[in-house]
Structure 1
Amino acid sequence: MPSDEQSAMQPILRDIHRYWFGPLAAPADRNPEKAEIWFKRSDETDAHIRETWGDAIAAAAAVAWDLDELSREEQVGLIVLLDQFPRNIYRTTGEAFAYDRKARAIADALLVDGLDRFYLVEQTFVCLPFEHSEAIADQDRALLHFAEMAVNAPEELAEAKRLGLDFATKHRDLIRKFGRFPHRNEMLGRESTEEEKAFLAEHGRGY
């Protein structure tokens, strides 16, 4: 039986799922307009997430989750809350990555039975905690998951899944080269190497 804390958060997780994905009636459904909040930096989006769910992140991290008692939507909403929303709320600080370990542990537990039980658009976000990791084993795992998605994608999602695989490859290659994401160094108070400084001078994109 879920704890009172978990039960109190389940409606919040459903709200997050609706906000992030829109209505999904079937496994291949998607709402393309939602890509605006996923991939386009917006102060308005960040402010909305902060004001609506800012307090929920730490609360969720403190819950001892019984994941089997969550619906599919609630499970995915929990990943979005812990993995995506800190990146919106704490975008320029190390706090953006503070919940990555928790999100990754939950994703690991959810994927014991494979990707197939999640809707196609949800699969990307269930796997992103591994892509966000600075451990090469997690990066290799992310790459395998995104390759699986690309191979199995229906025609209408093939391009999106191909792009997902391309991004996963770029993330893995950075970790293979540097052992960490150089873009995070300043936010985490880490000193960049000369090689990392040269990379950062050439590439403005951060992970």
Structure 2
Amino acid sequence: MFSPKRSSPHHPAGWLVDVQRRAPSHCEVCAKLFRNLIFLRTVTIAPLSIIQFWRDEVRPERWFAVDPNLDALIRTRYEALWRDARAGKLTDWAMTPEGTLALLIVLDQFPRNMFRGHADAFATDAQALALAKQAVARRIDERLPAVLRPFVYMPYMHSENLADQDACIALFLDRLGPDTMNLPFARQHRDVIARFGRFPTRNAALGRPNTPEEAAFLNAALKPH
């Protein structure tokens, strides 16, 4: 009885089967395209666009406000960029004053909006502080507009180390003057660290139990003045 010849890689039918075996699935193609889009989304964001967003779109009146809509906007636009910064993929930004400022905003300010009330809000504080200290040592802050210069000093203010708090006050006095509106807030932060050695307001997010004194402090802060 005649039996049909089996297809081989050299036979047209065999070639088709071979191609089908090697061809990526639809899901694989979609996944690759998604990864490429995320890559392009992060690498095409320029440092200057971060500064423009913070200065012109957010504006000073919302820099320190509790605004859920702003928090959601920053997370949608910049969470992927923040994760790249956390992974050390944006270190080249620190080669210029503008890039340094933008990276400090990404590392120190954005997570406080994106992850308000959660531990990730403070996840890149150490990176931001190290970068801020480098910038101050190189006097990069003095090459920035005065209205934006405080964001070089904010990582000091956010530190739970008393020496950093003292340095923060000294920087505001020395490089922005005694009339800067940030000075009273810097002194308040310093007083909290001098008293507790940490910020009690972070305890819940970081899973730290309150001491009785911290609990009393937090309860007093919640009472209307």
Whether the TM-score (by the shorter chain) exceeds 0.5 is yes
The letter of the residue matching 1:107 is: A
CA distance in 2, matches of 1:190, 1:181: 11
Report whether the alignment pairs 1:128 with 2:162: no
Aligned ranges for residues 25-44 of structure 1 at < 5 Å?
34-44=59-69
The letter of the residue matching 1:59 is: D
CA contact (8 A) 2:94 2:103 kept: no
Cα 1:47/1:175, change in 2 over 3 Å: same
Partner of 2:168: 142
Report whether the alignment pairs 1:14 with 2:48: yes
CA distance in 2, matches of 1:60, 1:171: 26
Cα 1:9/1:75, change in 2 over 3 Å: farther
Length, aligned pairs only: 181
Structure 2 unaligned residues grouped into runs of 5+:
1-38
Partner of 1:172: 190
CA distance in 2, matches of 1:192, 1:80: 30
The letter of the residue matching 1:109 is: Q
CA distance in 2, matches of 1:83, 1:203: 24
Shift of 1:39: 1.9
Partner of 1:28: none
Cα 1:67/1:87, change in 2 over 3 Å: same
Shift of 1:62: 1.7
Partner of 1:151: 177
CA distance in 1, matches of 2:174, 2:66: 28
Structure 1, residues 5-48: CA drift from partner, whole Å, max 9, x if none?
Answer: 9xx747432211110113xxxxxxxx9x8123202211111111
CA contact (8 A) 2:93 2:103 kept: no
Report whether the alignment pairs 1:80 with 2:114: no
The letter of the residue matching 2:144 is: F
CA contact (8 A) 2:72 2:114 kept: yes
**Equivalent of 2:217, from 190, 199, 205?**
199
CA distance in 2, matches of 1:144, 1:67: 26
> What percentage of aligned pairs have identical amino acids?
36
CA distance in 2, matches of 1:60, 1:49: 15
Partner of 1:52: 77
The structure that has the greater radius of gyration is 2
Partner of 2:8: none
**Equivalent of 1:109, from 114, 134, 139?**
134
Alignment root-mean-square deviation, CA: 2.2
Shift of 1:72: 2.2
Report whether the alignment pairs 1:94 with 2:146: no
